């Protein structure tokens, strides 16, 4: 099959590695990809947000399957356009991707289908927002409704913090994405993520993971896209997984179909494990980044067959096999991230022959001499595999120590509590 993968981050490197490994793949094109993917397919110089060019390319090249990595093209309806042109796309329709694209949509949907979640209120003006913040005694979470690159959530300790966040968001901090905001009850408990594959009818459990969102050790510093992850999550045992599938994922799959917007693709469920059971923090309509870098290396079943079962229907008879191994990934980021940082610093990665260690590229490029350089905030995700969390973690950190990049930093406590 001729497959076009869209995206250029660490998640897409992990996807490219698994797709290239599939016996069904004869020709893999990646737009735009990154230097880490050079040996896995042909890199195409089209940006992941140039939807018209991506669509035209897929049509002209008569691609058999388009795999959409990031959320933005999904929310913008790229899968619908491809579908209408007779090209299979892995990833939900725009209507189904609203589960990530609009937090108010996701919350209202959960209410309609009795899916456990915190109390919430939507607001479009200051008075309404303040009233709800006061009703929750200020102990709340303020969220922009739309996509805000992971920055649209403020967990407030006091009413003043919450009101300041509401003012900024309603004042246009995230443009149209924060015209509507949510004021949510702040719930407590450990967090974990669950990934499932949906085909518009059936839902198949895939794997669990846990990421580390704060920039620095000890969960200090600003929120990031994720500084490391482990799979499986040490906090989700079989009983909890069944509970999440039963109370959240299957009702969601049924509900989306009943409402005429069947969900096909990967569903990422962000959970808080409260004393009243697991509750939904958020849905994402794609693999996580860096969660993909710990989940996909554990997948033993051919990933392309799984994607086809999700897009064409047929997950009811599909079986996914997973390696019992644990995987831990350490993100190496440019100093300054998630704030301002410089691009262009030199990275040297020595040859790696260890099958239990994978260096995924996220924000890398080549300069005019072919030298590898940093070109983003999160730059590498170094994954180690092992029989338990401890050995996986050790593998990953040993490989990180061999990477020569003075302008990078990483957390030293990823998966330390596992």
Site residues, ligand AMP (CB under 6 A)? 118, 141, 153, 155, 184, 186-187, 191, 213, 270, 281-282
Contacted entry of ligand AMP, ligand GLY, none for residue 145, CB cut-off 5 to 8 Å set by kind: none
Among 88-96, 120-128, 285-293, 328-336, the segment contacting ligand GLY (CB under 6 A) = 285-293
Q: How far apart are CA 15 and CA 101, in angstroms?
A: 22
Q: Which residues contact 131 (CB under 8 A, 6 or more apart)?
A: none
Nearest to 153, CA basis, from 133, 174, 138, 129: 174
Q: How far apart are CA 156 and CA 159, in angstroms?
A: 7
β strands within 289-338, DSSP E: 326-334
**Residue 70 binds: one of ligand GLY, ligand AMP, none (C-beta under 5 to 8 A by kind):** none
Of 211 and 407, nearer to ligand GLY (C-beta) is 211
Please tell me whether residue 284 binds ligand GLY under the rule CB under 6 A.
Answer: yes
Toward ligand AMP, which CB reaches closer, 122 or 349? 122
Give which of ligand GLY, ligand AMP, none residue 186 binds (C-beta under 5 to 8 Å, depending on kind): ligand AMP
> Closer to ligand AMP at the Cβ: 268 or 405?
268
* Torsion angle, alpha carbons of 396, 400, 402, 404, to 10: 160
CB of 289 to ligand GLY, least distance (A): 5
Look-up: residue for tokens 């989940």? 295
Contact of residue 187 among ligand AMP, ligand GLY, none (CB under 5-8 Å per partner type) = ligand AMP
Q: Which is nearer to ligand AMP, 115 or 141 (CB)?
A: 141
CB 270 within 8 A of CB 286: no
| Residue of 91, 92, 152, 226 that binds ligand GLY (CB under 6 A) | 226
Within a 10 A sphere around the Cβ of 164, how many other Cβ atoms?
A: 14
Choose the stretch contacting ligand GLY; rule: CB under 6 A; options: 89-97, 112-120, 281-289, 362-370: 281-289
Of the residues 291, 338, 383, 415, which one makes contact with ligand GLY according to CB under 6 A: 291
Beta partners for 383? 329, 358
CA distance 131 to 122: 11
Three-state DSSP class for residue 264: strand
What is the spatial distance between Cα 82 and Cα 335, in angstroms, rounded to a whole number?
Answer: 39
Residues making contact with ligand GLY (CB under 6 A):
211, 225-226, 284, 288-289, 291
């Amino acid at each position: 099959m001729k497959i076009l993968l869209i995206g250029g981050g660490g998640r897409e490197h992990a996807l490219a590695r698994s797709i290239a490994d599939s016996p069904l793949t004869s020709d893999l094109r990646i737009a735009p990809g990154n230097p880490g993917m050079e040996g896995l397919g042909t890199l195409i110089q089209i940006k992941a947000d140039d939807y018209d060019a991506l669509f035209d390319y897929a049509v002209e090249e008569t691609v058999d399957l388009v795999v959409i990595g990031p959320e933005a093209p999904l929310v913008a309806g790229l899968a619908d356009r491809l579908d209408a042109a007779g090209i299979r796309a892995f990833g939900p329709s725009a209507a189904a991707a609203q589960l990530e694209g609009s937090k108010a949509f996701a919350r209202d949907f959960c209410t309609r289908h009795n899916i456990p979640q915190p109390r919430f209120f939507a607001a479009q003006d200051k008075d309404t927002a303040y009233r709800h913040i006061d009703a929750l005694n200020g102990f709340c979470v303020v969220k922009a409704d739309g996509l805000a690159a992971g920055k649209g959530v403020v967990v407030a300790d006091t009413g003043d913090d919450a009101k300041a966040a509401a003012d900024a968001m309603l004042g246009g901090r995230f443009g149209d994405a924060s015209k509507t905001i949510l004021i949510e009850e702040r719930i407590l408990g450990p967090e974990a993520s669950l990934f499932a594959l949906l085909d518009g009818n059936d839902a198949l459990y895939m794997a669990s993971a846990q990421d580390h969102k704060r920039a620095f050790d000890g969960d200090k510093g600003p929120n990031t896209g994720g500084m490391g992850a482990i799979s499986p999550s040490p906090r989700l045992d079989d009983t909890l997984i069944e509970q999440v599938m039963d109370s959240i994922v299957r009702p969601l799959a049924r509900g989306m179909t009943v409402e005429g917007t069947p969900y096909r693709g990967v569903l990422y469920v962000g959970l808080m494990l409260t004393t009243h059971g697991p509750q939904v923090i958020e849905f994402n309509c794609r693999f996580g980044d860096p969660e993909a870098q710990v989940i996909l290396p554990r997948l033993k079943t051919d990933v392309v067959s799984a994607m086809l079962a999700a897009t064409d229907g047929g997950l009811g008879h599909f079986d996914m096999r997973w390696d019992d191994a644990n995987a831990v990934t350490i993100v190496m980021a440019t100093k300054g991230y998630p704030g301002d940082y410089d691009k262009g610093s030199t990275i040297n990665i020595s040859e790696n022959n260890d099958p239990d260690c994978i260096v995924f590229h996220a924000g890398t490029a080549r300069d005019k001499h072919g030298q590898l350089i940093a070109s983003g905030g999160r730059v590498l995700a170094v994954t180690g595999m092992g029989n338990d969390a401890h050995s996986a973690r050790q593998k990953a950190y040993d490989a990180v120590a061999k990477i020569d990049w003075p302008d990078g930093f990483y957390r030293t406590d990823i998966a330390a509590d596992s």
